[in-house]
Every structure is written in C-alpha cells, then in structure tokens.
Amino acid sequence: MKSDSEIQDDVIRELRWEADVTHEHIGVAVVNGIVTLLGFVPSYIEKIAAEKAVQRVDGVKAMVEKIEVRLPGTREHDDQDIARAIVSQFRWNVKIPDELIKTRIENGHVKLVGEVEWDYQRSTAEECLQPIAGIKSISNLIHVRSRIPQPQHPRDADASSHIGLL
C-alpha cells in the first residue's frame, strides 16, 4: 500500500506527463489516499484532463477537485459567445438531437437539460462542449428516456421463426 507522499509524487508526475495540462498552477495534497487538486487552469478541457490524470494513479481512493478555470484576459468570452458556440456545435454534430437539449449559461457555467433516447447522445452533448473557450464548468442533467420492451405477440413469434427456411 502506497503512502500519501508516494501517491502525491505519482500524481504530480502524472500531471507533468499529461500534455493537455498546464500543471504549474495546480497544487496536490493527499491525506489517507484522498487527493485534493487546488489551483487554476486556463480552460475547462485542461480541468477535465487533470481529473483524468489523477484517476490513472494507483492508490488514489477519492479525489476532491478545487481547480478553477481562469481564462486569460484577452480570451474572455461572455455567455452570448458561449451560447452561440454551443448552438453551432449541436447543429453540426449528427449524434446530438439538438431539438431535445436546452442549455443555460451563467458566468461561463453551462447546464444541459433535456431528454434523449440514448446515453451516447447524452455523453456526446457534454464532450463536444469541452473545447469551447469560455466554459468554466458543465453540469450534464440530460436524462435518458427509459425504454420498456414490448412483449411480442405469439402469432408474430411463430411467423418470424419460419423466415429464412427453405
């Protein structure tokens, strides 16, 4: 079993190795195998990459993420810019039924709501937004419609069992 200091060293090494993370502004604390990330990064996608890097480290029992997204001053985007980018992303992605998903943006924090038929639609909606500049967090509250299988009529079962026989 690894000590907290060994886990901390491994997490720091993993963050340095991860090309998508600007690790210089991320602090790592470990207590009883629980990793706390503190600091800031310039984009939401870097925040997600840092979380994934920690999850790859052996010995991590849990993670507390306190990373803030701080956009560089010249790249600051208002909520209108973010909304336009989201609408465009949804419109161009054939996997997303954009008419079923609504977004709410407040100070760069995006909330996705709606109901879709498949889980891949739900996850794709969130994943395609991660690279959009200006997004600080994404709350995916999209529900997947439950599908209740319909019982097959016995007459239909008999007919299908004879298909393909010569």
From CA 54, how far away is CA 60, in angstroms rounded?
8
Q: What is the pLDDT of residues 88-132, one digit of tens each?
A: 999 999 999 889 999 999 988 999 999 999 999 999 999 999 888
The domain spanning residue 42 has which CATH number? Answer: 3.30.1340.30
Predicted TM-score (pTM) of this structure: 0.59
The domain spanning residue 92 has which CATH number? Answer: 3.30.1340
Residues 59 and 97 grouped into a single domain: no
Residues 140 and 84 grouped into a single domain: yes
Rounded to an integer, the average pLDDT of 2-20 is 93
Structural domain count of the chain: 2
Domain enclosing residue 126, as ranges: 75-144
* Sequence-separated (6 or more) residues with CB below 8 Å from residue 39: 25, 26, 27, 66, 67, 68
Residue, of 30 and 98, whose pLDDT is higher: 30
> What is the sign, positive or negative, of the torsion defined by CA atoms of 35, 39, 42, 43?
positive
